[in-house]
Structure 1
Amino acid sequence: MRIKYTISIVFVVALVIIEKENNIISRVSDKLALKQTPQTPLQARGSSSSVVLLKHNGSFTTSLNNKLDPAFTLMKRRLVNYTEPQQEAASASGGRKHILLLATTRTGSSFVGEFFNQQGDNMFYLFEPLWHVERTLTLEGGGTNASAAAPAYRDVLRQLFLCDFSLLESFMEPLPEDHVTSALFRRESSSSLCEESACSPFVKGVFERYHCRTRRCGPLNLTLASESCLQKEHRAIKSVRVRQLETLRPLAEDPRLDVKFIQLVRDPRAVLASRMVAFAEKYKNWKQWAADGHEVPVDDDEVRKLKGNCDNIRMSAEAGLRQPRWLRRRYMLVRYEDIARFPMRKAAEMYRFSGIPFTRQVRLWILRNTQASKEASGVYSTQKNSSEQVEKWRFGIPFKIAQVVQKVCGPTLKLFGYKFVDSEKMLTDKSVSLIEEKVFKFT
């Protein structure tokens, strides 16, 4: 009888172990698609291990030519101690932090991006590298193919965080020759790309629109840029082109990365007022509506586009604030208005969240660039007299335009703590703040 019970117990234990190993194998196989062998900087186009971009019927897909069978066999052998893969994933990034600053245009993202660009020798910062991707995927009638853009943005960001520029190269026009380009968008906005280590010899007669201002460099050698990136302790990217945070989930789950997402938001009424000035030609309908006495047609494409933008921002923030497992301790929401009012405090919070030391160099930059004169505070300037910028928009937008924004972006305004105005007088009353004091929990 004792032997019978012993056999039964052993049988049950064996079933439990088998089931646990099967679950682990399943999880490991799911992640193997992410766990590519890191490429050497800028492998030649067409090599079997590189990421190849395919265009088919107007959409883009990525083809990963990986040999998974040997890797899967290796992982199965490791299941003797099934905690090892988890331990390996936790240490894969080697303590390196990857920061992705997500925003939309005219939210102050260039200014906030400088908080990381000014970090110094241990930070590799890129300014809007997805500009090239968006430009390639722009449709003839305007706008982008969202179903193609989302995976393309995600894959390019992943490779850039790994210091691999080869996928980005395939979106650049003209295509770089021998990994050298004079057309990288806003190169001068990245201190890392203008350092001596990434500065190739000056070539007379070669025009580079976004050339370095701190030293005389030739066209950007992306191999040198990749090598410089690999030498940096941390990496940060600023982008206004990702629509939905959910599409970046594979980055958070990639064991080679330790990504922190910082979403920057701003009052949609202020964003629209700023865009009407900065992009006057694109927003001429809004300017016309503001000038004439007619009602704004809420079924107009421009109004629907505004609503879509607000909805995307709100849904991304709602996903982040829910703190699903894949975003736990990886998401932070910050309002531009809070940064403008308390730049040093908010910068310190962002650095604390990112797990990176807040250096004296960044502090000095913030002190110098939050007390700028009116002459220095241009439309695209990163120098701001921050205390004056917070609600300046209220005196440049008609009440009827503010009403339209409130109607189509109401849930977004409420989520982020922006007060509604019910009259022209309230809109322009300096004694009434439209910013609620609000704390967003992200840890």
Structure 2
Amino acid sequence: MMFPWKLKKKRMLFMVLLLIAGTFCFLNSPLDKAIIAKRPHKVIEHIRNHEWTLITSNKTRHKTNSTVNLKAKPLRVIIVTQMRSGSSFTGELFNHNDDFFYLFEPLSDLAPKFLGNGTTENIHTYIERPLVDLIQCNFKDLPGMWWNINGFTALHQCAYSRQIQATPLCNLSKPIKNSVSLSKKENPIHILENLCYGKKHVALKVIKLENINYLENIFKNVSMDVKIIHLVRDPRGTFNSRNKLCDILPHEKYCRNVSYCCARLERNTNIWLDTPMWLQNKYMLIRYEDLAMEPLLYAEKIYNFLNIQLPNSVRDWINGHTQSNYGDEWSHTRNSSQVATRWRNELSLSSVLDIQSRCQLVMNRLGYKTVTTEEMLRNWNYSVLEPLKS
């Protein structure tokens, strides 16, 4: 049994604690308001920085909170293909969309010697790490070779990326290196990062990626919405186009190696047949021939896959640049349907038969029908394209 004086003492202590708690709550609200009123910009800046970290960090996975709109995740599109397979044409579907920051073959100078049989270390150095940096708009950590003696690797970015063409980078005559001290207006890292951050999405096309499976760590560790468009082409069309270029590309060791290139195509299309979990709803295979023959229809399909609307600027580009009979090998203004199948007029039957024998498995897989006689080869009423099996 508790004595009366002890009970009284306990009640008094409880009342004092309630009084202190009430006073603190009463004073706390105006105090917080006063602090925020004195430094609103710092508070807002801190919140924005925190939200950007939630979206872009690939080092730590954060739990979603009410300030992050999952539907507003930045979209990163990687067009994966081989040389002379229609990737420049496909890339224009993003280059002419002002919501995209478009990069043209950014791995070309990063992986000059990397040809698919490398170690885990150089996969990380030449493929994984640079791609992570590029899709996160981080140009300051790219290897030094990306900034070459003629400017940033880039001078081909000036030729093919509409957004970069408009920057001071493409007007600089002096060499640019990471170590060069330039003004803020001239600094390539500052210019490219500002341009990249200023766009909703990023798209880049790569022809140096030998194996799509090298991207697995990127998909698993980067919180952005990354998607692959796997562009394939009839090997007969690819090598007809390469025949005109291999003589002036001596550094391309496998330029005319049909067996090597078809083995690479077969390996990567295995993913189409059995898409791994990390690529579910993030992978689309498209044949260049389908896109070239019905560019507007397949542009719509590509944008539907990305869950964004095809803009009028891209529609206008398609309507104005796919019917012309003028344009050289590097031009994007040509009759696209004729370009896709002109190998039938230009390759000899013996060359066609050789390519077919080396690439038979993957050609059957992708719906490319073989020809066996000169008459079949030159007869345009005989279709060499079957519907792509789903």
249-258 or 125-134, which deviates more: 249-258
Pair 1:267–1:170, CA change in 2 (3 A): same
Tell me the percent identity: 26
CA contact (8 A) 1:96 1:258 kept: yes
Pair 1:199–1:416, CA change in 2 (3 A): same
1:303 CA displacement: 10
Secondary structure at the counterpart of residue 133 of structure 1: coil
Pair 1:87–1:352, CA change in 2 (3 A): farther
1:421 CA displacement: 1.1
1:352 corresponds to 2:304: yes
- Residues 310-325 of structure 1 mapped to structure 2, 5 A cutoff: 310-325=262-277
The aligned residue for residue 388 of structure 2 is 438
The aligned residue for residue 194 of structure 1 is 165
Secondary structure at the counterpart of residue 79 of structure 2: strand
1:309 CA displacement: 1.6
Secondary structure at the counterpart of residue 168 of structure 1: coil
1:144 CA displacement: 7.3
Structure 1 unaligned runs (5+)? 1-36, 42-63, 76-83, 209-217, 284-300
The aligned residue for residue 95 of structure 2 is 117
The aligned residue for residue 241 of structure 1 is 208
1:408 corresponds to 2:358: yes
TM-score, structure 1 length as denominator? 0.66
Measured in 2, the distance between the counterparts of 1:200 and 1:265 equals 33
Measured in 1, the distance between the counterparts of 2:255 and 2:190 equals 44
Pair 1:131–1:149, CA change in 2 (3 A): farther
- Residues 381-420 of structure 1 mapped to structure 2, 5 A cutoff: 381-420=331-370
1:150 corresponds to 2:102: no
1:91 CA displacement: 6.3
1:170 corresponds to 2:121: no
1:222 CA displacement: 2.1
1:124 CA displacement: 0.7
Can you list the C-alpha shifts for 1:95-151, whole angstroms capped at 9, x where unaligned?
A: 21110001111111101100001001x21110011011123x36xxxx676335532
Pair 1:246–1:144, CA change in 2 (3 A): closer
CA contact (8 A) 1:307 1:409 kept: yes
Pair 1:306–1:192, CA change in 2 (3 A): same
CA contact (8 A) 2:291 2:298 kept: yes
TM-score, structure 2 length as denominator? 0.74
386-395 or 408-417, which deviates more: 386-395
Can you list the C-alpha shifts for 1:313-369, whole angstroms capped at 9, x where unaligned?
A: 222122134222111000000001001110000001001101222100100000001
The aligned residue for residue 104 of structure 2 is 127
Pair 1:417–1:201, CA change in 2 (3 A): closer
Secondary structure at the counterpart of residue 347 of structure 1: helix
Measured in 2, the distance between the counterparts of 1:248 and 1:201 equals 31
Can you list the C-alpha shifts for 1:142-172, whole angstroms capped at 9, x where unaligned?
A: x676335532212111110000113434223
| AA partner of residue 322 (structure 1) | D
Pair 1:201–1:423, CA change in 2 (3 A): closer
The aligned residue for residue 28 of structure 1 is none
CA contact (8 A) 1:128 1:185 kept: no
| AA partner of residue 132 (structure 2) | R
Alignment partner of 1:366 out of 309, 312, 318: 318
Measured in 2, the distance between the counterparts of 1:350 and 1:317 equals 18
Measured in 2, the distance between the counterparts of 1:113 and 1:304 equals 24
CA contact (8 A) 1:92 1:257 kept: no
1:329 corresponds to 2:281: yes
Pair 1:420–1:158, CA change in 2 (3 A): same
Secondary structure at the counterpart of residue 186 of structure 1: helix
Pair member with larger Rg: 2
Measured in 1, the distance between the counterparts of 2:122 and 2:345 equals 36
Question: Aligned residue pairs: how many?
Answer: 324
Can you list the C-alpha shifts for 1:169-188, whole angstroms capped at 9, x where unaligned?
A: 42235369xxxx35414122
Pair 1:220–1:308, CA change in 2 (3 A): farther
| AA partner of residue 118 (structure 2) | A
221-230 or 273-282, which deviates more: 273-282
Measured in 2, the distance between the counterparts of 1:201 and 1:172 equals 15
| AA partner of residue 161 (structure 2) | S
1:255 CA displacement: 3.9
Alignment partner of 1:101 out of 70, 79, 89: 79
1:338 corresponds to 2:310: no
Task: Indicate the RMSD between aligned Cα atoms, in angstroms.
Answer: 3.2
